[in-house]
Amino acid sequence: MSAPLTNLRVLDMSRILAGPWAGQLLGDFGADVVKIERPGCGDDTRQWGPPWLGGDSAGESAYFLSANRNKRSVTVDIAKPEGQQVIRDLVAQADVLLENFKVGTLSRYGLGAEDMLALNPQLIYCSISAFGQSGSKSGEPGYDAMIQASGGLMSITGPAAGESGGPQKVGVAVADIMAGMYATTAVLAALNARAQSGAGQHIDVPLYDSQVAWLANQSMNFLVGGVVPERMGTAHPNLVPYQAFASRDGSLMLAVGNDRQFAACAECVGLPELAADDRFQHNSNRIANRVELVELLARCFKTKTTEEWLASFAEKGIPAGPINDLQQVLTGEHAEERQLVRHLSNTRGQSVPVVSNPVDFSSTPVKYQYAPPLLGEHTDEVLREWLGYSEKLIAELHRSAAV
């Protein structure tokens, strides 16, 4: 069975994480993704190490490997007229173009959305930027950490006010990744619209707006309740008890989602009377009396080991789990059962570990075809395959350093 997007050609002109993440997802789903990189250096993240595959800087950085499987790398110097023509020729054959240049950069080279849609009216041209294609901040650059800060995420992440420590960013570039996810769904929606109308379009995906959009219940808590959400550590603003607790030998995460689960939890910790207590019987009461309840539970949890508590909770159907590190997550029995890690061979003969795409289609499986590419390794191949360029023309492009 072929993957679901095998009929699509994607030109990935993005770098760092948000755009490449979208390109990788489309590649996982079967699209032919060609990654356009600057000759000589490529995607910035190729230099974002250590660690490096193979142990030294001659290998690929782990960061680059995380977002660039199922792509072919083509080097093009878009500052050269010959390079710009190569991009135009590729766009004429493409279904989707992904880019995350600073707003206005590609237009200066005649490669902006208006130019490319005039060349290929069916093209889906997806622009990812810090603050969008319009507005007073549109010309400003942005990286994930500053978006997490300015977009509100850091204000609700970290120890509670009054505790040691201040606002924290999430330990992965989640603003970039979520923008990449929004870009992917937008591209698929635009492709469906094209199937009905025959026309392509320009998609504008700002990191900032994406960050604001996925704050979900926290944003609605403010809009509906009028109270600005604050940092709460591991606790939940709308559910209690829903946080990490210290056990006798470590920690665990408890996630009680309803009154039935709370009653079962109270029984597990040896305090069944809590479920009938007016202070704690319903979730709204537990929120009002959060401090008192958490103190009661915290004393109980210190009497047994994490493993003992998790076994008791599992028996009662109470959502709870260990706080695993990444070695525990990516190795062991469950990781093997779910095939969370796969290995792809690159053209150097190296085995490249990759974290699996989490989607499992019943009849159109995710593709694991290409390891993250070496810089420019597919340039000649793609110019022949997509464009039918002659060997003479390809040689001339190399001589002029356009590719």
**Which of 150, 174, 145, 169 is closest to 158 using CA atoms?**
169
**Residue 130's closest CA among 141, 116, 114?**
141
Interatomic CA distance for residues 370 and 355, integer angstroms: 13
**CATH no. of 242-323:** 3.30.1540.10
Identity at 163, one-letter amino acid code = E
The pLDDT of residue 58 is 81
pLDDT per residue rounded down to tens, the chain (403 residues): 899 999 999 999 999 999 999 999 999 999 999 999 999 999 999 999 999 999 888 889 999 999 999 999 999 999 999 999 999 999 999 999 999 999 999 999 999 999 999 999 999 999 999 999 999 999 998 899 999 999 999 999 999 988 889 999 999 999 999 999 999 999 999 999 999 999 999 999 999 999 999 999 999 999 999 999 999 999 999 999 999 999 999 999 999 999 999 999 999 999 999 999 999 999 999 999 999 999 999 999 999 999 999 999 999 999 999 999 999 999 999 999 999 999 999 999 999 999 999 999 999 999 999 999 999 999 999 999 999 999 999 999 999 999 9
Q: What share of the chain is helix, strand, coil (3-state, %, to 5)?
A: 40, 15, 45
Domain with CATH 3.40.50.10540 in the chain: 9-213+336-399
Q: Give pLDDT, residue 40.
A: 95
Rounded to 5 degrees, φ, ψ at 71 are -135, 155
The pLDDT assigned to 233 comes to 96
The boundaries of every CATH 3.30.1540.10 domain in the chain are 242-323
Q: What's the token pair of residue 189?
A: 């929606």
Is residue 123 a contact partner of residue 96, using CB atoms and an 8 Å limit? Answer: yes
Which member of 176, 249, 259, 360 is catalytic?
176
Strand ranges, E, within 67-106: 71-75, 96-99
Q: Clarify whether 249 is annotated catalytic.
A: no
CATH number 3.40.1390.10 is the correct assignment for the domain at 9-213+336-399: no
| Predicted TM-score (pTM) above 0.75 | yes
Half-sphere exposure of residue 178: CA atoms within 13 angstroms, side-chain side: 22
